[in-house]
Amino acid sequence: MLLDINELHLSFVGGDEPAHILKGIDLHVAAGELVGLVGESGSGKSTSVRAALRLYGDEAEITGSIRVDGTEMVGADAATCRRLRAESVALVQQDPRAALNPVRRIGDSLAERLVRVHGKRRRDADERILALLTEVGLTQPERRMRQYPHELSGGMLQRVVIAAALSTDPKLVLADEATSALDVTTQAEIIAIFQRQIRERGLGMLFITHDLHLAGAICDRIHVLQQGEIVETLGRPGLFAEARHPYTRSLIESAPALERRAQS
């Protein structure tokens, strides 16, 4: 199992009163699986992902178990968490500009991690990045490597970030609203890239989104998160037909009218 979360509780303890945000989450992603985590804004989706990678310090109290590629993260030392983040997992978030250094050329930013963390020679790192920029559908990849982030559109930059995420051959990708800011065509292309990696390399993916219908179209299984609790898990076949929880039903019915008309 690539991601194995059991009975995860998380409270933020920085304020006057502790804020109990995650209330006993169970979540599993195996190799070759595309698993959705769906909920409204504030339900705790990003907190779950950040907790899984142990990106919180003293501000959060965590209990339960989070195993990433077989290694327990709760209680692990900083070096173990860093190693797992570098070797096994990639996180792709919504805003690609936040993930890239604005004053460095794209090629330099992407090569740096391969050279520094993964010990690749610069020439090999450049070759790998060039191949990946082509694979994620960027035209003129050599030129892109020489450009700065502000010279590319949001959709192009998200492709760059995905190339960066795949460059280290992660086993698990945590995609946190990774396609939410993109137009529908770019979103479909990027999802197709993820699906190919899942099929061909056995990548496991947790796909976090507020869009239940998008998750329903692509995921093998969907966990529905409401106020820090997984209230329902939907699996194929019959995905939405099996939804029983009122919160899930309200998410299904809250699809824009146009979208529902197109489906009927």
Ligand X SMILES: Nc1ncnc2c1ncn2[C@@H]1O[C@H](COP(=O)(O)OP(=O)(O)OP(=O)(O)O)[C@@H](O)[C@H]1O
Q: How far is the CB of 96 from ligand X (least distance, A)?
A: 16
Using the minimum distance from each CB to ligand X, give the nearer residue, 174 or 190. 174
Alpha helices in 26-121 (DSSP H): 45-52, 78-87, 96-99, 106-116
Strands 34-38 and 221-226: parallel
Burial 230-256 (b: 16+ CB within 10 A, else e): bbbbbeeeebeeebeeebbeebbeebe
Please give the Cα distance from 10 to 23 (Å, whole number). Answer: 7
Alpha helices in 32-183 (DSSP H): 45-52, 78-87, 96-99, 106-116, 122-135, 141-146, 154-166
Q: How far is the CB of 108 from ligand X (least distance, A)?
A: 30
Using the minimum distance from each CB to ligand X, give the nearer residue, 132 or 161. 161
Token code pair at residue 67? 């195993």
> Which spans of this chain sit near ligand X (rule: CB under 6 A)?
12, 14, 19, 21, 39, 41-47, 59, 210
Token code pair at residue 127? 């070759």
Helix (H, G, I), strand (E, B) or coil at 25: strand
Residue 189 parent element (H or E)? helix 184-201
Q: How far is the CB of 132 from ligand X (least distance, A)?
A: 28
Q: How far is the CB of 153 from ligand X (least distance, A)?
A: 23
Q: How far is the CB of 80 from ligand X (least distance, A)?
A: 23
Q: How far is the CB of 210 from ligand X (least distance, A)?
A: 6
Please give the Cα distance from 142 to 147 (Å, whole number). Answer: 9
Q: How far is the CB of 225 from ligand X (least distance, A)?
A: 7
Using the minimum distance from each CB to ligand X, give the nearer residue, 126 or 176. 176
Using the minimum distance from each CB to ligand X, give the nearer residue, 22 or 145. 22
Q: Residue 224: CA atoms inside 13 Å, Cβ hemisphere, count?
A: 22
Using the minimum distance from each CB to ligand X, give the nearer residue, 237 or 256. 256
Using the minimum distance from each CB to ligand X, give the nearer residue, 45 or 159. 45
Using the minimum distance from each CB to ligand X, give the nearer residue, 46 or 179. 46
